[in-house]
């Protein structure tokens, strides 16, 4: 390399942008971007036939194995045995109306409140699906808007539990609502986002086969005030409707139990 080339390379390196330069233009370009323009990641459990674990599939993710936890936006993988620590911020249960896989757009036909009268119109079919007269089916879905803890930071995500995982959902709900703290006016139930929980994956089975499901345990109170405030804001955003789940029909064998 000649001296002139050396000087050129050195010059480029010394002119690299700095964090202080970026800070001066913080949020530039994002002025018209709202929460609804962002994709809220779903955290899914990978199954034996998930495309992410198949090396020949275009959706393969290097290192992916059945039982791992998968981020649908970043493709990040988490060890299902070790699990992930999350702060649950908001819970809702709904009945999502779907067309059969392969029909329609793969998006929900409609999302019904847990108290909707349409639920009573559905009849259980031979595949254990709650089928409507239209041919569509309803899926009882528990949604947890969470913050995934990473050292002193956290990322927002959504975890849905349905079918065989509704039992895990009920156990988690009981675990959260069962926490009581002593206050100035007696015992009280702290907010959902006051505690951290560890979510692992465990192998489950019935007479039709095996699959991986969720196992939830309590870690303890949130120790970082900043994380608590972030979780509180996230909960408020979900409650107000600023943050909404964009459900999509899951790929075959992701969190899919045999029936």
60: in domain: yes
Encoded tokens for 33: 């971007």
184: in domain: yes
200: in domain: yes
**E strand or H helix at 219:** strand 209-221
Q: What angle do CA 172, 177, 181 make, to 5 degrees?
A: 130
27: in domain: no
pLDDT tens for 69-102 read: 999 999 999 999 999 999 999 999 999 999 988 7
72 lies in which domain range?
Answer: 49-89+147-240
pLDDT tens for 43-63 read: 999 999 999 999 999 999 999
Q: What per-residue confidence (pLDDT) applies to 11?
A: 46
31: in domain: no
Name the pTM for this structure.
Answer: 0.82
| Residue in 89, 52, 44, 35 with CA at minimum distance from that of residue 71 | 44
Question: Torsions phi, psi of 39, nearest 5?
Answer: -95, 120
Encoded tokens for 253: 């064998």
Question: Taking 90 as the threshold, does the pLDDT of residue 104 lie above it?
Answer: no
Question: Taking 80 as the threshold, does the pLDDT of residue 255 lie above it?
Answer: no
Give the percent of the chain with pLDDT over 70.
83
Non-local CB neighbours of 246 within 8 Å, separated by 6+ positions: 39, 40
Q: What per-residue confidence (pLDDT) applies to 27?
A: 64
Question: Taking 70 as the threshold, does the pLDDT of residue 236 lie above it?
Answer: yes
On whether the CB atoms of residues 53 and 64 are closer than 8 A, the answer is: yes
Mean pLDDT along residues 141-159: 93
pLDDT tens for 179-207 read: 999 999 999 999 999 999 999 999 998 88
Q: What per-residue confidence (pLDDT) applies to 257?
A: 56
SS3 content of the chain, % helix, strand, coil (to 5): 25, 35, 40
Cα dist from 171 to 94, 117, 177, 188, 215, whole Å: 18, 26, 10, 20, 9
15: in domain: no
Number of domains in the chain: 1
* Dihedral over Cα of 46, 52, 53, 57: its sign: positive
* Burial class of residue 97 (count of CB atoms within 10 Å of its CB; 0-12, 13-18, 19+): buried
User: 4: pLDDT confidence band, cut at 50, 70 and 90?
Assistant: very low
189: in domain: yes
36: in domain: no
* Distance separating the N- and C-terminal Cα atoms of the chain: 67
């Amino acid at each position: 390399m000649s001296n002139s080339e050396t000087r050129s390379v050195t010059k480029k390196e010394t002119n690299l942008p700095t964090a202080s330069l970026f800070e001066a233009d913080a949020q530039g370009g994002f002025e018209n971007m709202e929460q609804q323009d962002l994709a809220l990641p779903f955290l899914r459990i990978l199954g034996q036939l998930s495309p992410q674990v198949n090396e020949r599939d275009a959706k393969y993710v290097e290192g992916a194995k059945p039982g791992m936890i998968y981020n649908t936006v970043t493709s990040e993988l988490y060890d299902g045995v070790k699990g992930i620590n999350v702060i649950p911020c908001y819970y809702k249960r709904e009945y999502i109306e779907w067309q059969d896989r392969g029909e329609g757009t793969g998006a929900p036909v409609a999302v019904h409140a847990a108290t909707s009268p349409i639920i009573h119109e559905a009849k259980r079919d031979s595949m254990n699906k709650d089928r409507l007269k239209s041919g569509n089916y309803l899926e009882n879905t528990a949604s947890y808007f969470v913050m995934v803890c990473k050292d002193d930071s956290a990322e927002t995500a959504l975890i849905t539990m349905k079918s065989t995982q509704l039992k895990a959902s009920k156990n988690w709900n009981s675990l959260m609502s069962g926490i009581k703290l002593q206050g100035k006016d007696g015992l009280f139930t702290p907010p959902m986002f006051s505690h951290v929980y560890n979510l692992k994956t465990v192998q489950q089975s019935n007479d039709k086969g095996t699959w991986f499901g969720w196992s939830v345990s309590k870690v303890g109170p949130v120790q970082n005030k900043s994380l608590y405030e972030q979780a509180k804001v996230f909960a408020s955003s979900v409650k107000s409707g600023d943050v909404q789940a964009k459900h999509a029909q899951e790929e075959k064998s992701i969190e899919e139990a045999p029936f």
